[in-house]
Structure 1
Amino acid sequence: MEDRYLRATPLLDIGHPSLKALLRERSWMELPERERIGAIYDFVRDEMPFGYNASDDLPASAVLADGYGQCNTKTTLLMALLRAGGIGCRFHGATLDKSLQHGVMIGLLYRLAPNSIIHSWAEVCVDGRWVGLEGVILDDAYLDGIRTSICGDGGPFLGYGVGTDDLANPPIQWAGTDTRIQATGVNEDFGVFDDPDTFYRAHGVNARGIKGWLYRHVMRKAMNKRVRRIRAAGECGAASSAAAAHRAL
């Protein structure tokens, strides 16, 4: 693996004490490479719940400190943890149609959003081919909340941060192949970059100027509130199902 896919950058701050401590605590370096990728992927997908950070271009240590993330910030954290764990990876940049965010953004928030939203995912090389890890974005509890409170059926679904051909069974589990959860919302592909720093220098971030201030201080708070409400519906539904199963015993 080339050094450029393993090196640290200001955003991929792989030497930060919090990232190094996490690798030690989880004993990820003791795992074979494929299992190590899966363990890091599962941590970022499910133990870092979906939510909107203050900016796309946060360093990985700041995302970890927030304890949640969206596509771009989770990609940065995933890449940093992979590289810290000796796994080479690269960055894939794109944009999403804003319709994918409808439901999380509503009313004026949705109208103020750009028509195309900066999007990204990490890629790792497995058995000689690059594998996309876009499915890391949404945690299981959030997806369960969408199925419980918004759309109980499978099949195609676009909105609430989801873009998939099958909401009932999206390809989000690590199995050595591509994972996807927002892919059907992609409307422009910028290709691959060595790291997020290079991409953001070329294409910028989603929120700038007055809209950036509104996003940081108003919009994302409302969006995160809606995300938490959806996730709570999923957790409540899971608890009800568990209680029903217990009563049936």
Structure 2
Amino acid sequence: MEKYLSPTSLLDFEKKTIQRLIQDKEWKQLDDYNKIKSCYEFVQNDILFGYNKKDQIPASKILKNGYGQCNTKSILFMALLRAVSIPCRIRGFWIDKEVQKGLIPNWIYEISPALILHSWVEVFYEDVWYALEGLIIDEKYLRQMQLMYPNNIGFCGFGISTTNLQNPCVEWNQANTYIQQQAIIEDLGVFATPDELFYQFEQSISPVKQVAFSIFIRHIMNRKAKKIRNKV
């Protein structure tokens, strides 16, 4: 299990900000089930759904940002889990870009890559590996999406891809959790660290488009997500 507990450049849980958070939350005093639950719910709801400038950001910086998407939330979640001695790994995927439809203008959507690099964290608890993807979307954002689309069961768009929008499996209760699973096109396999995943795979966009995403497109997406979250 040692390789599933070690720090890395991205999983920098030895940084003071992360250690202080864990101390303040008293997570190390919990049993393993509640360690997972507490870290999961923190990343799910205290770290809002939103797009960082890139995927390869250390956990301490994601914590400082206060928001994240699948890949960055996975990095932070793994760092918190390892900091409280819970073994974890990461699984990579290509998913359909349709999952982002609605968050970006149609003209940008049309020229964006067909596939998006995606990941979820797998946590080892009582001799079972559990897939925990459901923390990508914060509860407030999800509730607003459910109000906006009350008659939808299967749903894909706005950062969500699920067979049941009104009752998705997003709460940790010793079971897998999912919120974008239905958009998966290809399983890229399991990696001990996000550093390994992102070394082998990266978003399929040109350097120019990556810069455009970092300084322009992601802010459009984040404003749209904020508008949905705060919708009255």
User: Which bin holds the TM-score, normalised by the shorter protein?
Assistant: over 0.9
Q: Give runs of ≥4 in structure 1 deviating > 6 Å.
A: none
2:169 matched to 1:171? yes
TM-score (norm 2): 0.97
Aligned counterparts of 2:18 and 2:123: Cα–Cα separation in 1: 19
Q: Which runs of 5+ in 1 are unaligned?
A: 237-249
CA RMSD of aligned residues (A): 1.0
Structure 1 or 2, whichever has the larger Rg, is: 1
CA distance in 2, matches of 1:210, 1:39: 39
Q: Report if the CA contact (8 A) 1:103-1:159 is conserved.
A: yes
**1:219: which partner in 2?**
217
Partner residue, 2:202: 204
Q: In 2, are the aligned partners of 1:11 and 1:76 still within 8 Å (CA)?
A: yes
Report the alpha carbon displacement of residue 106 of structure 1 after superposing the two structures with TM: 2.4
The amino acid across from 1:198 in the alignment is: E
More displaced 10-residue stretch of structure 1: 7-16 or 207-216: 207-216
- Mapped to 2, the partners of 1:206 and 1:45 lie a distance apart of 26
d(CA) in 1 for partners of 2:35, 2:122: 15
Q: How many residues align?
A: 232
Q: Which runs of 5+ in 2 are unaligned?
A: none
Q: Quick check: 1:50–1:70 contact (8 Å CA) kept in 2? A: yes
Kindly indicate whether residue 84 of structure 2 is the aligned counterpart of residue 109 of structure 1: no
Paired residue secondary structure (2:141): helix
> Match for residue 144 of structure 1?
143
8 Å CA contact retained: 1:56, 1:206: no
* Distance apart, 1:206 and its partner CA: 5.2
3-state SS, counterpart of residue 220 of structure 1: helix
Secondary structure of the structure 1 residue equivalent to 2:85: coil
Matches within 5 A, 1:24-35: 24-35=23-34
Aligned to 1:13: 12
Q: CA deviation at 1:137?
A: 0.1
Give the aligned residue type for 1:188: E
> Relative to 1, partners in 2 of residues 1:23 and 1:206: Cα closer, same or farther, differing over 3 Å?
farther
Q: What is the aligned-residue identity percentage?
A: 37
Instruction: State whether structure 2 residue 59 is matched by structure 1 residue 65.
Output: no
**Residue 31 (structure 1) shift:** 0.5
Higher helix share: 1
- Letter in structure 1 aligned against 2:8: T
* Residue 190 (structure 1) aligns with: 188
Q: Which letter does structure 2 place at the counterpart of 1:131?
A: Y
Cα distance 1:63–1:221, how it changes in 2: closer, same or farther (>3 A)?
Answer: same
Q: SS of the counterpart of 2:49?
A: coil
Question: Counterpart of 1:214 in 2: which secondary structure?
Answer: helix
